[in-house]
Amino acid sequence: DGGITQSPKYLFRKEGQNVTLSCEQNLNHDAMYWYRQDPGQGLRLIYYSQIVNDFQKGDIAEGYSVSREKKESFPLTVTSAQKNPTAFYLCASSIKVRGNEAFFGQGTRLTVV
């Protein structure tokens, strides 16, 4: 079955540690996205990638980093510079960046203590 997989579903980290969230898709999509979801804030775009080895900052990129070395994978690192990292993180992909349906993963809930 084709789809987009995020792992793990729940993640706990101590304050000051970097943590990497995994996102893998087997849909052969060029575009991939990372969103952060907080209560009352909707989905806020962190980073997106149009193609392998290319990515752009979204609205709230500070404190986050990404890589896109393979078409299937778009991992997100939450660094210690991110002041409020506790949130629900959603990864999505689409065939291309413009004008195409986005498919979402089931999300990772990150809690930093």
Partner 1 sequence: QQPVQSPQAVILREGEDAVINCSSSKALYSVHWYRQKHGEAPVFLMILLKGGEQKGHDKISASFNEKKQQSSLYLTASQLSYSGTYFCGTEVFAGGGADGLTFGKGTHLIIQP
Interaction site with partner 1 (CB under 8 A): 33, 35, 40-45, 48, 50, 56, 58-59, 90, 92, 94, 97-107
User: At closest approach, how far in Å is the CB of 58 from partner 1?
Assistant: 6
User: At closest approach, how far in Å is the CB of 29 from partner 1?
Assistant: 13
User: At closest approach, how far in Å is the CB of 86 from partner 1?
Assistant: 17
Smaller CB distance to partner 1: residue 37 or 80? 37
Q: How far apart are CA 76 and CA 45, in angstroms?
A: 12
Smaller CB distance to partner 1: residue 61 or 80? 61
User: At closest approach, how far in Å is the CB of 64 from partner 1?
Assistant: 14
Smaller CB distance to partner 1: residue 1 or 101? 101
How far, in Å, are 6, 9, 48, 59, 73 from residue 66 at the CA level?
Answer: 15, 19, 9, 14, 10
Q: How far apart are CA 113 and CA 106, in angstroms?
A: 23
Q: How far apart are CA 103 and CA 23, in angstroms?
A: 12
Q: How far apart are CA 107 and CA 51, in angstroms?
A: 22
Smaller CB distance to partner 1: residue 55 or 85? 55
Helices and strands (H, E) in the chain, number of each type: 0, 11
